[in-house]
Amino acid sequence: MNRLSQHQRNYVIRAKKRLGQCFLVNLSVAKKIVQASNLSPSNTVLEIGPGLGALTIPLARSVKRVIAIEKDEELFSWLSNKLYQEKITNVTLIHHDILKLNFEDLKEFFDHRIIVLGNLPFNISSPLVAKLLHHHKCIDRAVLMFQREFAERLISQPGTKSYGAITVILRYRARAKKLLRVSSGSFFPRPKVESMVLELDFKHPWPRCPVDDERLKRVVKPAFLQRRKTLINALLGAPENWEKEVILKALRSCGIDPARRAETLNMDEFISLAQVLSLTQ
């Protein structure tokens, strides 16, 4: 594993305290991530949180162009100098918060749908996935590093402890696949947990998408809010204030036992239930 210089270590310690980031410093892992991303030399890639450039540099050497979004001003300047020293000219570094950036504004950089890659700060994983889902029509796929526990929630199956609302909502618009696990020793400062790289393929949504995302969320989120409750009791507490008889009728029409819990329902059952309940509003 390549080591950081003392200057880089000092910077990372400051950044860790201020932003809660852990930077990828194992360059062999960075190269594996780029290789696993199945990119072509003609691709333009959006990188989120380039950090010290561990992914940025091998990525820039593999694709036509990289658009890198960095929130931290000091790190933005540091990485700009680093790219200059490495004589890398196909990276456009943008100082911005990815969560506040409108993906529509990035279309000028891309000929087709956007390919996203990044080692995410753990504290933006959930809102970033929500943002990708919101812009799913303009995204091709995303290869992202998450905290392992969060990643497992995205790829879990019905009947498991990690299966939840975010699993269902993501799978509706994208197919999530595990690419590789990354040990905590690959980062500096070293986190307490392992990470996992996933591919979120927005070209492969669930085969049946009869309801819009918001209507699906109105069923899925309250169903999982109190996991130990039966479906009928969980949905009675939903903000939509459905009448008990309305919920029971919807469940019966979908062939779902009202005594089941949310974690036992598969994708098609959630979609059917959302479709039926949407007709009552």
Instruction: Decide: residue 238, CB within 10 A, 0-12 exposed, 13-18 middle, 19+ buried.
Output: middle
How far out from the chain centre does Cα 76 lie?
23
The segments of the chain whose pLDDT lies below 50 read 1, 13, 16
Please say whether the beta carbons of 104 and 79 come within 8 A: no
Q: What's the pLDDT score for residue 13?
A: 47
Query: Domain boundaries in the chain?
Result: 6-201, 213-278
CATH topology for the 6-201 domain: Rossmann fold (3.40.50)
Contacts of 72 (CB under 8 A, 6+ apart): 15, 18, 19
CATH of domain 213-278: 1.10.8.100
How far out from the chain centre does Cα 31 lie?
20
Query: Model's pTM, two decimal places?
Result: 0.93
Question: What is the distance between the alpha carbons of residues 275 and 250, in angstroms, rounded to a whole number?
Answer: 9
Tens-place pLDDT, residues 110-160 = 988 999 999 998 889 999 999 999 999 999 999 999 999 999 999 999 999
Give the single-character DSSP code of 208: -
